Structure 1
Amino acid sequence: MGVESEREVLEPLSPITLSLSTPKLTLYIISVFESEIPFNVDTLKSWITQIMDCLNPRFCCTMVEKDRGELRWKRVNLNIDDHFIVPKPPNGDSDTHDQHVKQYICDVSLKPLPMDRPLWEFHVLNWKTTCSPATLVVKVHHSVGDGVSMMSFLLDLAKRADDPTKPISFPTSSSASGKAQFKNFRNVFSSVSSRIGGLVSGAWYSAIDVVDGLARSKLWVQDSNIPMRGPPGVEKLPVRISQATMDLKEIKMVGKKLNATVNDVLLGAISYGLQKYLQLSLSKDERYKDPSVILEGLKVTSLVFFNAREDKGLQKPEMMFTSNSKAPWGNRIYFFLRPIPFGMPKDPTYFVKQASSSTKRSKSSLGVLLGRKFLVFKARYRDPEVAASSFYNSMSSTTLALSNMVGPKEKIAIEGHPIKDFSFFVTGIPLSLFLSVVSYMDHVNLRATGTKGYVDTETLCRCITEAFQEIKDSLVS
């Protein structure tokens, strides 16, 4: 078999990937890296050209239709110039271009990728901002892989800035997310079989989650129609992006005092911050005389994405492509629904405790696992469009989406360019608000992506940081 024949070998798309590659549902992952020095474009191009083909086959593939319209991956020759975009700096006398960079990222997030070539782009912005002299924006079609896949790939490109010969390390599972939230799905019944009460509650919660998931996939159940929820097709509207930063040590300190995980603390701060934001927003609307009373009757739900792999840790891409990998490459994601608690408690830690309680409840339910299996079944044996429609409806029935990733403990460098900070977000989700959280070194970045005219992301980020500060101060006092 010749070289060209070998590149013709086709691999079918997985069921979940098929559902993310339909006109109904098309998602993109956007990663933003802020460099401490301007990027050398020629160096980056030469380096990527040398390593991309052998490092990860998905980045050298396009989708093609075979018999009966079946989509498969096809290896193609990579033209690096198709994937590197280097826009000229904006005109003007300003020394910094913060707003230009933000607007560029927003514009890139909405523009579809060409489907006749590998589904990724690098946008190199050597535009100085108040935070950094250059920004790298990496856009990848979600069909190529999920957030865990992308994080593994991008960090495989990077090296430790202090010593490139040493491996990049990550927070342990206990410090990043407590006990693996979904690690024992397959063994959940055996783990509680010795306690009849636990078995009954697990079955009850599973039934509730299955029914709720089914009802939302049919749009029979939806969140309250509050001003921040966008209209149908909101995923195609212009967005605004803002970012908040929190100290990781302080988050861990709060978690230790409340016997909660880092995720619980973050979810608690987000819940409290969202309540503060809604109070502020509703108080400006003449229709709401007493926002606190209105809030207590609202149904607001967060759709939280999670990693459904057996091994939750990050792996090198080549290991993820092995046949027996416990953390395989691809789209091994699903979501669970977490109600946002509202109320006027005197103790701000109430929201963290509620998040912790909700986490424990989720551990005893098989509803999420069954929901994902049902989605895979529909994509594989019925029609990817049907699965995409169910996925779309389930998301659009909620108010916001949340994704959380663990980043490296040390500063990283991309081909000699030290990275001061980085973050990510997902576009194409039929919601007016997406919150993404990633840890990096000694802090946590929270990026809010909101639809213009529906969510004031700057105010929301400020409310979330204020909420975390109140939670922390209440423990100190």
Structure 2
Amino acid sequence: MEYLKVEEGDQREPVSPTGQFLNSEALSLCILGVLELGVPISIDESHMDSLVKDVFLPTNPRFSSIMVEDENGEKLWKRVKVKIKDHIKTPTFPSGLSPKIYDKYIDDYISDIATEKLPVTRPLWQIHLINYPTSNSNAASSMIFKIHHSIGDGFSLIGVLLSCLQRADDPSLPLTFPSVPLSSTNKDSNGLFKKVSRIFSVVTNTVSDFYTSIVWSSLLEDDMSPIRSGVAGVEFRPFSVATVTFSLDHIKQIKSNIGAKTVRVQAKQIQLHWCCSTRGNFAVMFPIKEMIKLDSKTPWGNYFAFLHVPLPKLTDDDSTSYSNPLEFVWKTREIINAKKSSLGVYLTGRLLQVLKILRGPEAAARYIHGTIKNVSMGITNLMGPVEPMTLADHPVTGLYFMSVGAPHSLVTTIMSYNGQLRIAIGAEKGLIDAQKLKSCIEDAFQTILKAACDDDT
């Protein structure tokens, strides 16, 4: 990674440790935020400049900064003058084609921009205006925001995009998000035995998770499989994007019927409903602070962590017990619940800080790269607004995001919006058929929904 040297008197601020890890020789991660619009984009150049200058850039000074190094090799954010036209891209495709064909053009375009590095001499973001229809959400056009992960975590970056939007029903009102129920403690569970049991569970799971993280980041790796090629540099290979949408009402119905505690966990269980007879894990990347509300006081940074979760195996010996698809869901939930009663992610965060102090940020970045590379897939999720939105009077019919630059053959992201849950799949071309995987997930969801609503199950 090439960095510009800082000059005396420059306006600058330190780059956070995690920001340094995510923009290094070993690792460079970005977020793609995709807004699907119900009408063609009719924003002229001057209006677009005004939107970026007056709405987007003021959200954080890092959108007007580049990453540089001082005389001691420390990375800093340096404020620069932004040439907006250098950050706005408008691709041209053949005209008069069907939305299905444009799906392929846009898929290839997303693959191209995902693997291209952002110029280090400019602030680390781009906006792509795609004025062609797609079959997704009956969109007439799309806007893609590419923002480097060193600027902030997914919580912060998606929050920036949403802060540029308005409620369709009443622009004067703020966007609202699904409520996050606070965990309550049962009064009957305050006995000494329960407390000791809970402490023992936390200690045991913490030791297990921390040990697993170190081993899988440094010594072991998942087996090669239909969802993992294991090739070096997989993050630079072309990939396909497919999305699938589910009704949140259906997911809540499944959650209620099987006794799941949160919709978010249930969404991950749906995503994992395939059989795996080989050794496999997935890395869950999640923000430490939940997106409860969006306002100017939302904290900025890279407050996220990785959590190793094993893919439940299904062998011939298990075929009878897993004849009921909910058995697989319950097993997955059991694993997730055990991971939740663990402090392993915090110990891993401390380990990264120690690595940075003793061996420098590149060593910590290589450790994170190994953490991601050695597992089969990555998964992360965010909550989106409850009500429909507009951008400069353009109705937003669909919303999803994708994490790119990670050394995975398969990455999935999950986001809710306007009563729906959108799962986006980023799959390595030549290894995974993204459309076939999408179809499998849809079939799995219908199977789970049918089983959860069947009184005889």
TM-score, length-scaled by structure 2: 0.89
Stretch of structure 1 that moved more, 224-233 or 383-392: 224-233
Stretch of structure 1 that moved more, 38-47 or 128-137: 38-47
- In 1, Cα distance between the equivalents of 2:280 and 2:144? 32
- In 2, Cα distance between the equivalents of 1:55 and 1:87? 26
Q: 2:418 aligns with which of 429, 433, 441?
A: 441
- Relative to structure 1, the CA distance from residue 380 to residue 41 in structure 2 (aligned partners, 3 Å threshold; closer, same or farther) is farther
Q: Shift in Å at residue 191 of structure 1?
A: 11
Partner of 2:128: 123
Q: Is the 8 A contact 2:373 2:407 kept in 1?
A: yes
Partner of 2:263: 262
Partner of 1:286: none
Q: Does residue 416 of structure 2 align to residue 416 of structure 1?
A: no
Q: Identity rate of aligned residues, in percent?
A: 29
Q: Does residue 19 of structure 2 align to residue 24 of structure 1?
A: no
- Relative to structure 1, the CA distance from residue 114 to residue 193 in structure 2 (aligned partners, 3 Å threshold; closer, same or farther) is farther
Q: Per-residue displacement from partner, 1:348-377 (whole Å, max 9, x unpaired)?
A: 112321232123212221111111121133
Stretch of structure 1 that moved more, 34-43 or 191-200: 191-200
Q: Does residue 81 of structure 2 align to residue 77 of structure 1?
A: yes
Q: Shift in Å at residue 380 of structure 1?
A: 4.4
Partner of 2:187: none
SS of structure 2 residue aligned to 1:25: coil
- Relative to structure 1, the CA distance from residue 75 to residue 412 in structure 2 (aligned partners, 3 Å threshold; closer, same or farther) is same
Q: Does residue 382 of structure 2 align to residue 405 of structure 1?
A: yes
Q: Which amino acid aligns with 1:80?
A: I
SS of structure 1 residue aligned to 2:171: coil
- In 2, Cα distance between the equivalents of 1:54 and 1:435? 30
Q: Is the 8 A contact 1:45 1:84 kept in 2?
A: no
Q: Per-residue displacement from partner, 1:241-269 (whole Å, max 9, x unpaired)?
A: 11111110000111111121212222221
- In 1, Cα distance between the equivalents of 2:264 and 2:8? 45
- Relative to structure 1, the CA distance from residue 314 to residue 26 in structure 2 (aligned partners, 3 Å threshold; closer, same or farther) is farther
- In 2, Cα distance between the equivalents of 1:179 and 1:350? 25
Partner of 1:369: 346
Q: Per-residue displacement from partner, 1:30-89 (whole Å, max 9, x unpaired)?
A: 01111111121422222212234433211111111102211100111111111111122x
Q: Which amino acid aligns with 1:265?
A: Q
- In 2, Cα distance between the equivalents of 1:54 and 1:151? 15
Gaps of 5+ in 2: 1-6, 185-189
Stretch of structure 1 that moved more, 399-408 or 104-113: 104-113
- In 2, Cα distance between the equivalents of 1:75 and 1:468? 48
Q: Does residue 368 of structure 2 align to residue 391 of structure 1?
A: yes
Q: Is the 8 A contact 2:33 2:158 kept in 1?
A: no
Partner of 2:297: 319
Q: Per-residue displacement from partner, 1:308-361 (whole Å, max 9, x unpaired)?
A: 23x552432x313xxxxxxx2011111111111132312111232123212321
Partner of 1:330: 301
Q: Is the 8 A contact 1:193 1:199 kept in 2?
A: no
Aligned residues: 429
SS of structure 2 residue aligned to 1:47: helix
Q: Shift in Å at residue 95 of structure 1?
A: 4.1
SS of structure 2 residue aligned to 1:349: helix
Partner of 1:458: 435
Q: Is the 8 A contact 1:242 1:458 kept in 2?
A: yes
Superposed, 1:150-229 pairs within 5 Å as: 150-174=157-181, 179=183, 195-218=195-218, 220-229=219-228
Q: Is the 8 A contact 2:107 2:241 kept in 1?
A: yes
Partner of 1:285: none
Q: Which amino acid aligns with 1:225?
A: M
- In 2, Cα distance between the equivalents of 1:122 and 1:423? 15
SS of structure 2 residue aligned to 1:67: coil
Partner of 1:15: 17
SS of structure 2 residue aligned to 1:337: strand
Stretch of structure 1 that moved more, 74-83 or 350-359: 350-359
Q: Which amino acid aligns with 2:162?
A: L
Superposed, 1:229-308 pairs within 5 Å as: 229-230=228-229, 231-260=231-260, 261-272=262-273, 274-275=274-275, 295-296=276-277, 298-308=278-288
- In 2, Cα distance between the equivalents of 1:229 and 1:419? 34
Gaps of 5+ in 1: 181-189, 276-294, 321-327
Q: 1:55 aligns with which of 59, 76, 80?
A: 59
Q: Shift in Å at residue 440 of structure 1?
A: 0.7
SS of structure 2 residue aligned to 1:68: coil
Q: CA RMSD in A?
A: 2.1
- In 2, Cα distance between the equivalents of 1:446 and 1:179? 26
Partner of 1:186: none
Q: Is the 8 A contact 2:165 2:390 kept in 1?
A: yes
Q: Which amino acid aligns with 1:339?
A: P
Q: Is the 8 A contact 1:433 1:449 kept in 2?
A: yes
Q: Per-residue displacement from partner, 1:120-160 (whole Å, max 9, x unpaired)?
A: 00000111223211110110111111100012111111100
SS of structure 1 residue aligned to 2:297: helix
Q: Does residue 322 of structure 2 align to residue 342 of structure 1?
A: no
Q: Is the 8 A contact 2:369 2:407 kept in 1?
A: yes
SS of structure 2 residue aligned to 1:420: strand
Q: Does residue 453 of structure 2 align to residue 469 of structure 1?
A: no
- In 2, Cα distance between the equivalents of 1:129 and 1:468? 24
Stretch of structure 1 that moved more, 137-146 or 39-48: 39-48
- Relative to structure 1, the CA distance from residue 26 to residue 179 in structure 2 (aligned partners, 3 Å threshold; closer, same or farther) is farther
Q: Shift in Å at residue 423 of structure 1?
A: 0.7
SS of structure 2 residue aligned to 1:407: coil
Partner of 2:105: 100
- In 2, Cα distance between the equivalents of 1:22 and 1:123? 25
Partner of 1:36: 38
SS of structure 1 residue aligned to 2:286: strand
Partner of 1:91: 94
- In 2, Cα distance between the equivalents of 1:7 and 1:469? 61
Q: Which amino acid aligns with 1:150?
A: L
- In 2, Cα distance between the equivalents of 1:475 and 1:49? 50
